[in-house]
Amino acid sequence: MVKTVNLEDVNVLLIEKNSEIRAVLRDGLRQRGIVKVTAVPTIEAAEKLLDEILFDIIIFEDVALAPETRSLAHAIRYGVVGNNPFQVLVTTMFSAEIPAVKRAINDGIDNILAKPFSALALIDRVTALIHSRKSFAVTASYIGPDRRLVPRAEVNLPLIEVPNTLRDKAFDRFDETRARSQIATARSTVNTQKLIHGAQLIASVTEQVAIHYESGIQDETVRVHLDLLLENTREIESRLANTPDAHVAELCGSFLKVLGDIRQNYLSPTKTEVSLMRNLGQAISASLKPDDKIAGLSKDIAGSVVEVRQRLARDH
Where residue 102 falls among pLDDT bands split at 50, 70, 90? confident
Instruction: Compute CA distances 316 → 62, 210, 268, 302, whole Å.
Output: 45, 21, 16, 21
**pLDDT over 90 at 308, yes or no:** no
Residue 70's pLDDT is: 64
**Length of the chain counted residue by residue:** 316
Is residue 47 pLDDT above 60, yes or no?
A: yes
Cβ pair 236, 265 in contact under 8 A: no
| pLDDT for res 40 | 93
Segment 106-134 shows an average pLDDT of 89
Please write the tens of the pLDDT for every residue from 184-243. Answer: 999 999 998 999 888 889 999 999 999 999 888 777 889 999 999 999 999 999 888 877
Q: What is the pLDDT of residues 240-272, one digit of tens each?
A: 887 787 888 889 999 999 999 999 999 889 999
CA 299/CA 310 separation, integer angstroms: 17
* pTM beyond 0.85: no
pLDDT of residue 65: 44
* Cα 39 to Cα 12, 18, 87, 145, distances in angstroms: 8, 11, 17, 25
How far, in Å, CA of 89 to CA of 136, rounded? 13
Phi, psi (rounded to 5 degrees) for 13? -110, 120
- The answer to whether 301 and 247 have CB atoms below 8 angstroms apart is yes
pLDDT of amino acid 232: 92
User: CATH 1.20.120 spans which residues of the chain?
Assistant: 189-315
pLDDT tens-place string over residues 146-180: 976 555 555 567 899 999 999 999 999 999 999 99
Highest mean pLDDT among 56-70, 177-191, 275-289: 177-191
CB neighbours of residue 71 within 10 Å: 24
Q: What local confidence, expressed as pLDDT, does residue 156 receive?
A: 64
Alpha-carbon distance of 278 to 275, in angstroms, equals: 5
The answer to whether residue 64 scores a pLDDT higher than 60 is no
For a pLDDT cut of 70, what percent of the chain falls above it? 84
**Angle (nearest 5°) at CA 106 between 104 and 107:** 65
For residues 281 and 295, the model is more confident at 281
What is the per-residue pLDDT for 301? 41
pLDDT of residue 67: 46
User: For the chain, what is the mean pLDDT?
Assistant: 84
Which has the closest alpha carbon to 168: 79, 87, 241, 103?
87
Residue 119 vs residues 26, 46, 129: alpha-carbon distances, Å: 8, 20, 15
According to CATH, the topology of domain 11-174 is: Rossmann fold (3.40.50)
What is the bridge-based pairing of β-strands 142-145 and 136-139? antiparallel
> Is there a contact between 102 and 108 (Cβ–Cβ < 8 Å)?
no
Q: Where in the chain is the domain with CATH 3.40.50.2300?
A: 11-174
pLDDT-wise least confident of 44-48, 58-62, 106-110, 259-263: 58-62
Please compute the mean of the pLDDT values over residues 104-123 and round it to a whole number. 87
pLDDT at res. 82: 92
DSSP per-residue string spanning the chain: -PPP---TT-EEEEE-S-HHHHHHHHHHHHHTT--EEEEESSHHHHHHHHTT---SEEEE-HHHHS-SSS-HHHHHHTTSSSS-TT-EEEEEES---HHHHHHHHHTT-SEEEESS--HHHHHHHHHHHHH--PPEEEETTEEEE--S-SPPPSS-PPPB----HHHHHHTT---HHHHHHHHHHHHHHHHHHHHHHHHHHHHHHHHHHHHHHHTT--STHHHHHHHHHHHHHHHHHHHHTTSTTHHHHHHHHHHHHHHHHHHHTTTS--HHHHHHHHHHHHHHHHHT-TTS-GGGGHHHHHHHHHHHHHHHHHH-
Q: Enter the CATH code of domain 189-315.
A: 1.20.120
